[in-house]
Amino acid sequence: MKEKYEQLLSIFREIQVIEQISMLLGWDNQVVMPPKGVEQRGNQMAFISKLQHEKAINPKIGELLKEIKESPEYKNLSYEEKRNIYLMQREYDRVTKIPPEFIAEFTKQQVLTHEIWKKARQENNYEEYKPYLKKILDMGKQFANYLNPDLHPYDVMLDYFEPGMNREKYNKIFTPLKEALVSLIKKCLESPKQPRVEILNRKCPIEIQKKLSLDVIPLINYDLERGRLDEAAHPFTTGNYDDVRITTRYLENYFPSSFFATMHESGHACYDQNLKKEWRYQPIGNYCSMGIHEANSRFYENIIGRSIDFWKFYFNRFKEITGTLFEDVELDDFVHAINNVQPSAIRVEADELTYNLHIILRYELERDLMEGKVTVDELPEVWNQKMKELLDYEVKNDAEGVLQDIHWSSGMVGYFPTYSMGNIYGAQFLHKLSNDIPNWREEVEKGNIKIMTDWMKKNVQEKGNLYDPAELVKAVTSEEPNPQYLIDYLTEKYSKLFNL
């Protein structure tokens, strides 16, 4: 049986190597590819994608999995080996349960809908987008039914993007979080102590911003011997193990855009670099979930990067690099400005406090759409009502409302909640870290940020895909995911900032 197990691992390794090639082509596509190389790159990507799919649906995988699980020796396998079998079975089911002709049709529909969405957003024309969105949602339900006809389609999709999650669990987590956030945001906005946000809009040359990014990266232990920083229209991270690349975006009149994008992407990159060497190319040697990935990036960006403790150490260094640009700015004013609370239309521009309400809004809309409680016709109106109700924000038009995100046009219904789960997991990890290292704040103030990144490496990153997300959180913190830790973290932090 060991021989069959090794055969499976060998096939999985090949699939992983193809995936790495695909990631590299994708990176090149967004960073350095000449504009006229698009068609050629499309052919390359299509070929790689086809090759990967053919490997993944090889009937030999199904035969080997069946033989191993039916063998009397199966019970003698270690937990790690059984987890590998489970993950390979899950992946094999995902790629073989869906008919190839449906995949082709769904992919084609996503490409078409994406193009229509771009045009509709530009022209603020929801009516044009509406029939395509309806088609994508219907096909999404069909996709879910192929995977598991016994479950509600939205539960299937929620589990697809964050294993183990469903509507019941999300409702239980998001309800108390929503109530607490609406109340806390209101208090912050009504506080007489408001930040001087204009200090962040000073013109900061891109060369200086690049220096800042390259200066902060080693502090948070992202290894540039095994990675690189480039510029792209949208910040992203790609790769794994010894080749993990990040990009950032520079805005001359708003340096926090690049600085915090660099910290965010470095968090993703550290996770991918710190996956266990001995598990490379095995399913357990992969990342756990999108939510856990987001927990890492937001931990680095917000919990470390926007904390007073980090800036007590880094502010003088920051002033040295930026010259006279911020010489008249006090530390407390600066930290308050980078933690401003301001309800706004656009999710990706939202602050740490309002961000989760943007996610909860999308989750509730997806859920109601998939349950048939809201129709595609009613969607813009319900979106705008919820923005008013949750964030007290009046949406001006559909371009800044229902048309702003790429996800639905790409068929990614059920993905949004993973962003907030990242914040929930991250705050729970911080609570455990605080118990393990009670003096972490003092250490960070002295510049020892490694104390936090090492804790994340040992407790979260090196565990790879050994557990499903909720199990990982329980293994690390001895408790199921609990939104109260995020509520407590945000309440404590923003009460100090706004003198509540």
Which residues are CB-neighbours of 304 under 8 A, at least 6 positions away? 220, 263, 310, 444, 449, 452
SS (H, E, C) 108-173: HHHHHHHHHHHHHHHHCCHHHHHHHHHHHHHHHHHHHHHHCCCCCHHHHHHHHHCCCCCHHHHHHH
Residue from 162, 265, 364, 366 carrying the catalytic annotation: 265
- Asked if residue 268 belongs to a known ligand binding site, the reply is yes
- Asked if residue 294 belongs to a known ligand binding site, the reply is yes
Query: Residues 415, 298, 257, CA angle at the centre, nearest 5°?
Result: 100
* Residue 68 and residue 4 in contact, taking contact as beta carbons nearer than 8 Å: yes
Q: Is 265 among the residues known to form the active site?
A: yes
Q: What's the full length of the chain, in residues? A: 500
Q: How far, in Å, CA of 172 to CA of 416, rounded?
A: 16
- What are the catalytic residues? 265
Binding residues: 264, 268, 294
Binding residues for Zn(2+): 264, 268, 294
